[in-house]
Chains A and B, each alone.
Chain A
Amino acid sequence: MTTSMDWTRLISRDRPGSRLLIILLIAIIAVLLVAPFALTGAKAISICVKIMIFAVLVASFDLLLGYTGIVSFAHTVFFGIGAYGVGIAIIRLGASWTSLAVGASAAIVVSVLLALVIGLFSLRVRAIFFSMITLALSAAAQTLATQLSNLTGGEDGIIFRLPPALMPSFRLLDTKIFGLTIDGKVVCYYFIFAMSVTFVLALLRIVNSPFGRVLLAIRDNEFRAEAIGYPVFVFRTLSNVVAAVFACLAGVMLSLWLRYTGPDASLSFEIMLDILMIVIIGGVGTIYGSIVGAVAFLVAQGYLQDLLKGASAALGSLPGIGKVLSPDRWMLWLGLLFILAVYYFPTGIVGVLRRPARRLDSSSKPSAKERLSIVYRWMGRAR
């Protein structure tokens, strides 16, 4: 009995809520755990690592979108701060654990301050300012990263070494285990794995804390939350800070794996779109959705691009079709998928797994929440 107690405490008593989802989650974690042994090929492993990084990145974004009800376009900025922080620190201070720690801590401090400032200026008045300002900021950050080339390496980014224990040339053991040499790359993989699990569990803990409950109340009804005495502005700003810290940590994970950082790898708008896509596909406001969504999306992305390549090669002779199906137009399909997902798949995978029957009765009447929001919108107007 005690073991089951511990198990639910680990996930902050936020049960996945569907047997299928539990099986899925366990399967994902199991595959990620044995991937270095079971999977061959650099592509498969790198998809696994991307999944672990995006699970953290998207879960922290979900804290904003799903639990606080605000859209940030600056999430990649914090992701980038984490990635660049590690890179710059190692370049300047040498490839040691100390400089890794210094870089990561400095990145976190910068992220906290920046998120605080953004919140103070944009969340004070109305949430839509926040989206506009973060969009401007993410554009500015990309420009800055390319222009400060002696610090950031400009367009090319920076390549750096890691502490020896995380480099491919390092050997943890002399003998192979299940036919696998335990080199620094494997150590790095499991290091990232541990970070990913810890951070996602931490986010799960945060959204299930009293703080998370207040955020939900704000998301559902800003007016009422303010009326009961929760300063909406303070809670939203705090949520932004917390999300920024985890995005920054995800950036650190990215740096560890790639031993490289550049504007395209961490700051580009494409990554922002990936985040949005994953959070919608997985299920907004669930945290678990970020894991499932990351798997579904990144695996599909890895192979859909191949599919497009094949299709455009096969149909390329037809005028026009080749252009549309070209792998360079990957974003076109991604964007269309995104719009369709927002309209027709708003609860995401987790939502569908949790309540398969809900769709039937939800069409006839608006949900209680929707109806309430109408009332309060009206009250806000009458005020």
Chain B
Amino acid sequence: MNRSDLMPLALLPILMGCAYLAIGNPAAWFTLTIAGVAMGMIIFTVASGMTIVFGLMDVLNFGQGIFITVGAYLSATVFASLSGYVVSPYLSENLLVILVAVVAAVAGAGMSGFLFERLLVKPVYGDHLMQILVTTGGLIVGEEIIKIIWGVQQVNVALPPFLSGAFVIADVAIERYRAFAFLAGALVFFGQYLVFTRTKTGLLIRAGVHDREMVEALGYGVRRLFVATFVSGCALAGLGGVMWGLYQQTLVPQIGSQMNVLVFIVIIIGGLGSTGGALLGAILVGICANYASFIEPKVALFSNIALMTMILLWRPNGLYPASAR
């Protein structure tokens, strides 16, 4: 990424400004913006893992949605079986149940990601066509397995008391969960930033995105790095699933593949392989979707496609394409 390239950042105020003019109501605009940024942070959690997997291994997983679903359902199961803690008035018990749900989701998604890589992706490294076909097949099978385990009917998730409702600051209602999701997403971003700048594994991943062969020539087995990165990407998707599930509060087996569409748009907008680009793209998509659903609900999904189209007109490789490969 070109560090001095700040032009894409201007898109944020431009989009916000246009939406402000279209909405004309400051309080509504502010609420929508907060909601959009929160949604963006959730999408980013999933997209960041996926874009790094692409950057490092040149693998695009069309089945990433399963891990979102796995995360969402596992957390719902935890919430259901520890429902006493969920409704408890004590913050510590609420936090405990969230922690357990996150751990379960991340571990479950990570483990299924490990299997997915072993069984499906490993034989097709280097061949996009095969990757697309095989991971799409994996998505179908995974979704069906989820239907077998959790059923086809929708599952409701209740938020703990400290996350439900809204608080009001100067006429603007901010839903607690959205603020929470924003914080969680920011934490994920900050954590990734630390990993990529402060740890050797992070450096190796960044180096591998640019030149896999040289990383090997320096004496590091890339295969292990691949698996670790793929599994972490899936675990992040699982975490995103928890956040998304609580955001939606109703789960259906297709929740992951539905969200995956947004994730794809984000990755394309951000530039394949770029974490910073994914963050900007996710926030753009999040606020754009929220503005659009307020102004004209029927075109909500198309608003993102329109956004992507315009960005690709401007920068055909996305905002911050990471690798020249």
- Give A residues with C-beta under 8 Å from B: 65, 69-71, 117, 121-122, 124-125, 127-129, 131-133, 135-137, 139-140, 143-144, 147-148, 273, 276, 280, 323-324, 328-329, 331-332, 334-336, 338-339, 342-343, 377, 381
Cα of A185 to Cα of B148 in the assembled complex, Å: 40
Cross-chain contact A140 with B302 (CB below 8 angstroms): yes
Chain B residues closer than 8 Å to A336, beta-carbon distance:
137, 141
Given that A124-B316, A143-B301 are contacting pairs, would A135 and B140 also be in contact in the complex, using a CB cutoff of 8 Å? Answer: no
Given that A128-B60, A147-B298 are contacting pairs, would A276 and B136 also be in contact in the complex, using a CB cutoff of 8 Å? Answer: yes
Chain A residues closer than 8 Å to B152, beta-carbon distance:
328
Q: How far is the CB of A145 from chain B (nearest CB, A)?
A: 11
Residue of A nearest to B132 (CB): A71
Chain B residues closer than 8 Å to A273, beta-carbon distance:
136, 140
Q: 9 more A-B contacts (CB under 8 A) besides A65-B129, A148-B298?
A: A70-B129, A125-B316, A128-B60, A136-B308, A140-B302, A144-B302, A273-B140, A335-B141, A377-B126
Cross-chain contact A342 with B137 (CB below 8 angstroms): yes
Cross-chain contact B134 with A339 (CB below 8 angstroms): yes
Contact-residue bracket for chain B: 35 or more
Chain B residues closer than 8 Å to A117, beta-carbon distance:
309
Cross-chain contact A132 with B267 (CB below 8 angstroms): yes
Q: How far is the CB of B161 from chain A (nearest CB, A)?
A: 34
Of B22-30, B90-98, B258-266, which binds chain A?
A: B258-266
27 contacts between A and B (CB under 8 A): A65-B129, A121-B309, A121-B312, A121-B313, A124-B312, A125-B316, A125-B317, A132-B264, A132-B267, A133-B268, A133-B305, A135-B261, A137-B305, A139-B258, A140-B302, A276-B136, A280-B133, A328-B152, A329-B147, A331-B143, A332-B144, A335-B141, A336-B141, A339-B141, A342-B130, A343-B123, A381-B325
Cα of A314 to Cα of B280 in the assembled complex, Å: 55
Chain B residues closer than 8 Å to A140, beta-carbon distance:
261, 301-302, 305
- Give B residues with C-beta under 8 Å from A: 60, 62, 120, 123, 126, 128-130, 132-134, 136-141, 143-145, 147-148, 152, 258, 261, 264-265, 267-268, 272, 298, 301-302, 304-305, 308-309, 312-313, 316-317, 325
Taking chain B's interface residues, is the majority helix, strand, or loop, or is none over half, making it mixed?
A: helix
Given that A132-B60, A135-B264 are contacting pairs, would A331 and B134 also be in contact in the complex, using a CB cutoff of 8 Å? Answer: no
Given that A125-B317, A132-B60, A135-B261 are contacting pairs, would A339 and B305 also be in contact in the complex, using a CB cutoff of 8 Å? Answer: no
Chain B residues closer than 8 Å to A71, beta-carbon distance:
129, 132-133
